[in-house]
Structure 1
Amino acid sequence: MSTLPLHCRPLCVLTLVLFATMAQAGPPIPADAPVLVPADHGAQILDPYTGLAWSRCVEGMRWNGRTCTGRPVRVNHAQALALAAARKGVDGFAWRLPRVNELERLVHRSGPPPGLEPALFPAAPAESHWAMTASIDTNMMPVNQYNYANIQRGRTDENTTQLSFLHGWAVNLATGEARGDVLKRTELPVRLVWALQN
């Protein structure tokens, strides 16, 4: 089949078959990497634990049956949201930007080197990717006035609250580091995800 149906039943069967196949052959995957398996002719990666299906390639790149080819598109936060909406309209999957913790789960930190598993996400850009913006209560997390980065940026408790709408979340897929102070106009790659069951 060229595309997967939106309900989970066939996906679960396919996941079990592919997982058994991968367990018999293939390169060893680090112990701290999530258990993920290819589906939809390899163009998507399923995470049975979270019930998420990941695009194997970042936006702008395409799966050719062995690897991701092309060039990643780098877009600002608003364009990243628009990309997800446009892709949803093309193939019917409910594509969206991943949450911070979902992106962090993809990163295995033991390495060498740490980052995404190349067998699962080939040719992946080793840099920060856009995530959904999370709302954070800045009163709970005061700005450290002695932190050099805060001093350099001129961040204080007052201006952080006032300027928070200008910032979005991104996760560095080489290190797993998440940051909520990335200017939304910054151009970053996008890796989309959809939930098998809503």
Structure 2
Amino acid sequence: MKVLIIFLGLTAFTALAQNCNTDVPNTAPTSRFNVGADGTVTDNLHKLMWMQCSLGQTWDGSDCVGDADELTWQQALKTAHGYSFANKTGWRLPNIKELETLVERRCERPALNETVFPSSQSDDYWTSTPVATDPVRAWAIAFFNGSNTARTKQAFLFTRLVRNAN
């Protein structure tokens, strides 16, 4: 009987939709971004261009479809090196400060602007920033609630690439 209760609890948890508190100011408002037709998003404040979808997903013109890839830190760095998307090069793994700019503090599950970044995972995303005091860990942003976390570089996490906007 306990197993059934736990299973039902997990099922209910995964079915939850994004929850936003409108009493909290926007930290990543839609007006800050230019959404391109090619699956790119330009952050006008921070002068960065983001892939609208996580690695592994495909932009279909209105949504990110497919399953996002889960990669180790080294795999994410290697995949980003030389990556070409939307006829653009220079894509890379964002550092922790860059990825934190996408966090929408008024929301959770995911703590991200779903209008700009649809079908994103409510889970950890890699940054290029290693943990200075622990060579086996790197920083990630937990888009469940927008916190940062040190994860072992062998963990399998999601990835969103960035480049400098031109």
Report the TM range for the smaller structure's normalisation.
Answer: 0.7 to 0.9
The aligned residue for residue 4 of structure 2 is none
Matches within 5 A, 1:45-194: 45-88=41-84, 91-111=87-107, 115-134=111-130, 136=132, 138=133, 164-180=134-150, 182-194=151-163
Q: Percent same amino acid among aligned pairs? A: 29
Please tell me whether the aligned partners of residues 170 and 179 of structure 1 are also in contact (alpha carbons under 8 angstroms).
yes
Matched letter for residue 192 of structure 1: L
Give distance in 2, aligned partners of 1:129 and 1:33: 17
Give distance in 2, aligned partners of 1:110 and 1:122: 16
The aligned residue for residue 38 of structure 1 is 35
Please tell me whether the aligned partners of residues 39 and 86 of structure 2 are also in contact (alpha carbons under 8 angstroms).
no
Extract structure 1 runs of 4+ deviating beyond 6 A. Answer: none
Report the TM-score when normalising by structure 1. Answer: 0.65
> Aligned residues, how many?
141
RMSD: 2.2
- Residues 70, 33 of structure 1: alpha-carbon distance in 2 compared, 3 angstrom cutoff: same
The structural deviation recorded for 1:114 is 5.8
Please tell me whether the aligned partners of residues 53 and 117 of structure 2 are also in contact (alpha carbons under 8 angstroms).
yes
Matches within 5 A, 1:14-29: none
Rg (Cα) greater in structure: 1
The structural deviation recorded for 1:183 is 0.6
- Residues 115, 86 of structure 1: alpha-carbon distance in 2 compared, 3 angstrom cutoff: same
Please tell me whether the aligned partners of residues 38 and 86 of structure 2 are also in contact (alpha carbons under 8 angstroms).
no
The aligned residue for residue 10 of structure 2 is none
Q: Summarize deviations over 1:79-136 as a string: whole Å, max 9, x none.
A: 0011101424994420011111211111111126661111111110010100012453
- Residues 47, 88 of structure 1: alpha-carbon distance in 2 compared, 3 angstrom cutoff: same
Write 1 or 2 for the structure with the bigger share of helix: 1
Give distance in 2, aligned partners of 1:166 and 1:113: 28
Matches within 5 A, 1:7-18: none
Q: Summarize deviations over 1:28-62 as a string: whole Å, max 9, x none.
A: xx6322411202x1501100111100000000001
Write 1 or 2 for the structure with the bigger share of strand: 2
Give distance in 2, aligned partners of 1:178 and 1:129: 10
